[in-house]
Chains A and B, each alone.
Chain A
Amino acid sequence: MDIASLQTLAANNDWLAIMPELLLGCLALALLVLEIILPAKLHSRLPAVALLGVLALLVFQLLGFTAGFAEQESFNGLLVHSREGQVMRVFFLLAALLVGVISTISLAKQKLPHTEFYHILLVVTAAMMLLVQSNHFVMLFVALETVTIGLYILVSYFRSRPLTLEAGLKYLIMGALSSSILLFGIVLLYGVAGNPELPGHTASAMNLDSLHAFLAANRHNFLASIGIVLVLSGVAFKIAAFPFQIWVPDVYQGAPTPVTAFLAVASKGAGFLVLLVLARTFSPYAWLLAPVLTLMAGATLLFGSLGALTQHNVKRLMGLSGVSHAGFLLMGVVAAGTQSMAIGAIYFYLFAYLLASFAVFGVMALVAGPDDADQEISHYAGLAKDSPFLALVLAIGLGSLAGIPPLAGFMGKLFIFIAAFKAGLYGLLAVAIVGVVISSYYYFSWIRAAFFSSGTSSDGEATARPARTPVSFTAGLVLSLLAFGTVLLGLYQGVLGQWLNTR
């Protein structure tokens, strides 16, 4: 390897293209430095610094700050700045901002260090933003590991609780297992694609474009198909698709509420984006992908809906209902194999899911007592009387998750169903409709507890529940914006809808 070609390689490292991620990393480092140099009484301001920084980055991103790099490769093909990547940058920044706001509520109820939480949150967000733009297995794996290791820490953050520790340990073991399966698949694909005996072999099989070209030249290689199944299994762990969803209820229950929200929304969103990128790379193996993903989607839908029916803990319920949402999204991924509008539908669904989930998780953080894992549906009894505002936000969020018209969740499901219908997935559609019917049952039993239950048992004794927390101005503003966004996005799809149609 001569110096000139190394210089070209080095010159292609275009740091400006990943400005939002760099700034996020700098902000995270600045938080740690500020904690050292500022006097102790100013430390309570640090979360606000982090949140304002993320808000500023979000505004810059929305103003088209990095638009000059759209549809270009950088870092010698490690990253591709697709238009989808730009949308997902906004998605993750928004998710980080909302998690930050909910964290201020939840962390206030615990005696734990705050700055490190926001530092890790920002680093994980930046890694997610890089993950969805990566076009190379090395980049993809490194970003994915950064996300996962950050989440191990965040999940076990309230470490004085036994349930949280259990959740952290389970997530660590399942995460390590899924990473090793993913890595095994990657290595198999790399090995097969580098075999000089096969047509179209390539020395740079880690690059997804080269791998796609190799797979197109060998459409029925046995080892490559094993590699593909292993890689898909590794990603299925991250999106909690059946049969890799077993960790969800315990981890969602034990993790702090904001982290549960982060896992449910941002981590799942990142997983689906990776899945879309991989499905595009593996498209020559559609004979294998389509049946595997279809079966997975159907089983995920049914498992999530049926599992959530029996739950009394709202965090477990959100986890299992999240599994069924993963099923709807997987149906979109299957449809995306033939219908390009399904990709737009997946993005719309993700945004609708983000707004509704954070509305619900925000209310959950406010209703929760000092024991974060102990959040029963019965605690919501009489919420409509105590705090009509929270009850309304909860109803809008849950209604959207259940898919009640005219809320955003309904439109999201509708778009996915239309895409699946166009792709001719009638069997899967039937399963999905059953899933919707079952899911409305458990969402409505939660709404019923909030609106129609008085909070007293039959013999007139009040059921034990944590004291209501007063809603701060910021939390109230954020929650009303989320509820408003959910209603608005259901009635008028605006820019997002346009973007959907132009696909």
Chain B
Amino acid sequence: MGSFLFDFFAIFTVICAVGTVVNKNAVNAAMCFLLCLVGVAGLFVQLDAYLLAFLLLLVYAGAVVALFLFIIMLLDVQGKSAVSFRRLSTAAAVIAAGLLAVGLCSFAIHGHLDAPNPNYASGVGAALKPYAYQLFTLYLLPVQIMGFLLLIAMLGVIVLSKKIDPAEGAK
């Protein structure tokens, strides 16, 4: 049963990922990306990482892809202008694909991933409660810094997008 579910979600994820890349319509590509994320979330559930699966659905599928769709509709991008490949970019793509193939081959030969030890306990991030405990004890300082990060990001958005008022600036 577990093996069937894994195969199902793995194939589903890969098909959707390919669909994201080859789809000429931006909205359809974004929808494929959404389904791809659902597939990854399914894989996480099988690893008992329920929190990660739900965070993926909430943050990426819920917020980020919605933002993508919003921007796509705002810009009104249509799939009509297919980019024709120039010689240079084709060469670059071939080199990149070659590097990827070499990387995968060397990984298959040198790197080895053994089956996980069943006795090995799941990580602290697997469920919400221990995760939250860690966040507010061990990682309290990084959480506080993230607060400052969000503050300066917000200020940055305001400063960089506010309309310049010449009368106010001249003071």
A22–B105 Cα gap in the complex (Å)? 49
Which of chain B's residues have a CB closer than 8 A to the CB of A138?
A: 139, 142
Which parts of B127-147 form the interface with A (CB within 8 Å)? Answer: 130, 133, 136-142, 145-146
In the complex, are the beta carbons of B149 and A9 less than 8 A apart? no
Residue A13 CB within 8 A of the other chain: yes
A12-25 CB contact bits vs B (8 Å, 1 = yes)?
Answer: 01000010000001
Are A143 and B145 touching (Cβ within 8 A)? yes
With a CB–CB cut-off of 8 A, which chain A residues contact B138?
9, 76, 78
Contacts of A280 in B (CB 8 A): none
* A6 / chain B contacts, CB cutoff of 8 Å: 133, 137
Q: In the bound complex, do residue B137 and residue A119 qualify as a contact, i.e. CB atoms below 8 Å apart?
A: no
Tell me how many residues of B have a C-beta within 8 Å of chain A: 34
Interface set, chain A 148-171, CB cutoff 8 A to B: 149-150, 152-153, 156-157, 159-160
**Residues of A contacting B156 with CB < 8 Å?**
120, 149-150, 152-153
B130 and chain A: residue at smallest CB distance: A1
Is A196's CB within 8 Å of the partner chain B? yes
Q: How large is the interface on A (under 10, 10 to 19, 20 to 34, 35 or more residues)?
A: 35 or more
Contacts of A120 in B (CB 8 A): 152, 155-156
Known: A40-B171, A143-B145, A159-B160. A149 touches B110 (CB 8 A): no
Q: Determine if A142 and B133 form an interchain contact, defined as CB atoms under 8 angstroms apart.
A: no
Q: Which of B120, B140, B169 contacts A112 (CB 8 A)?
A: B169
A116-B159, A123-B152, A153-B159 known; A222+B120 contact, CB < 8 A: no
Question: Which secondary structure characterizes the binding site on chain A?
Answer: helix
Interchain nearest-CB distance for B112 vs A (Å): 9
Shortest A150–chain B CB gap in Å is: 5
In this complex, the member of A126, A143, A153, A156 whose beta carbon has the largest number of chain B beta carbons within 10 angstroms is A153
Give Cα A84–Cα B27 distance, bound, in whole angstroms. Answer: 52
Tell me if A223 counts as interface (CB < 8 A to partner B). Answer: yes
- B159 touching A113, Cβ below 8 Å: yes
Is A10's beta carbon under 8 Å from chain B? yes
The yes or no answer to B75 lying at the interface (CB within 8 A) is no
| B138 smallest CB distance to A (angstroms) | 5
Residues of chain A within 8 A (CB-CB) of B133 are: 1, 6
A69 within 8 Å of B (CB atoms)? no
Q: In the complex, which residue of chain B has the Cβ closest to the Cβ of A141?
A: B142
| Residue in A111, A116, A197 whose beta carbon sits within 8 Å of that of B170 in the complex | A111
A153 near B164: Cβ-Cβ < 8 Å: no
Residues of B within 8 A of A247 (CB): none
Which one, A13, A28, A145, A153, contacts B141 given CB within 8 A? A13
* B residues in contact with A18, CB < 8 Å: 141
- In the complex, which of the residues B138, B162, B166, B170 has the most CB atoms of chain A within 10 Å of its own CB atom? B138
Q: Which of A40, A139, A152, A160 is within 8 Å of B142, CB to CB?
A: A139
- A145–B149 Cα distance when bound, in Å, is 8
A111: contacting residue among B116, B117, B151, B166, CB under 8 A: B166
Q: Which residues of A contact B124 (CB under 8 A)?
A: 1
Q: Tell me if A127 counts as interface (CB < 8 A to partner B).
A: yes
| Closest CB in chain B relative to A133 CB, distance in Å | 11
With contact pairs A111-B170, A142-B146, A222-B111 given, residues A75 and B141 touching in the complex (Cβ less than 8 Å): yes
Residue contact A150 to B152, C-beta cutoff 8 Å: yes
B114 at interface by CB-CB < 8 Å:
yes
Which residues of B have CB within 8 Å of A130? 141, 145
21 A-B pairs with C-beta separation under 8 A? A10-B137, A10-B140, A18-B141, A32-B155, A75-B141, A79-B141, A111-B164, A111-B166, A116-B159, A119-B152, A120-B156, A123-B151, A127-B148, A142-B145, A146-B145, A149-B156, A153-B153, A159-B160, A196-B120, A197-B117, A222-B110
In the complex, given contacts A32-B155, A146-B145, A195-B114, what are 6 additional A-B residue pairs having Cβ atoms less than 8 angstroms apart? A75-B140, A111-B164, A111-B170, A120-B152, A153-B160, A222-B110
Contacts from B to A (Cβ < 8 Å)? 110-111, 114, 116-117, 120, 124, 130, 133, 136-142, 145-146, 148-149, 151-153, 155-156, 158-160, 162, 164, 166, 169-171
